[in-house]
Amino acid sequence: MHSLEYSFNPKCYYNRRSREFFSFPVKLKIMSVQILHNPRCSKSRQTLQLLKDQGIEPEIIDYLKTPPTTEQLADILDKLDMQPRDLMRKKEKEYKETGMNDASLDKDALIAGMVATPKLIERPIVLANGKAAIGRPPEDVLAIL
């Protein structure tokens, strides 16, 4: 979804024909915001509400039903400046069950494991303006808007 942000020129103009005052927008910024969301997660719900409170209607991606591709997850990691293991939920039982706790796994194997088992991906992740942020705490996502 897109949110529009207007900032108006402080000078007002008068239209003699319509007899109305008006100003011209001097900046129009279209912002595309996505949230990788788990509706069962309280932090994810809080982050979504925070975005809505800011007047932003993000594209909501239920990443458990529609996990990111390997390429998308690699891009998200780059934007977060994180390694795959830093974005993993290590306390989930699937972390050990799927062998993701194996220290010898390389970056590609970890990303593939996260795509195959999206429950291991930390949440929520907000993408905006070519940047990404994890909503823990939810206020952290405001820095990229």
Instruction: Mention every residue, 6+ apart, whose C-beta is less than 8 A from residue 98.
Output: 113, 116, 117, 120
The β-bridge partners of 14 are: 21
Residue 41 designated active-site: yes
Residue 37: which H helix or E strand, with range?
strand 25-37
Identify the active-site residue in 3, 31, 34, 41: 41
C-alpha to C-alpha distances, 136 to 19, 90, 93, 131, nearest whole angstrom: 51, 15, 21, 16
Which residue numbers are catalytic?
A: 41
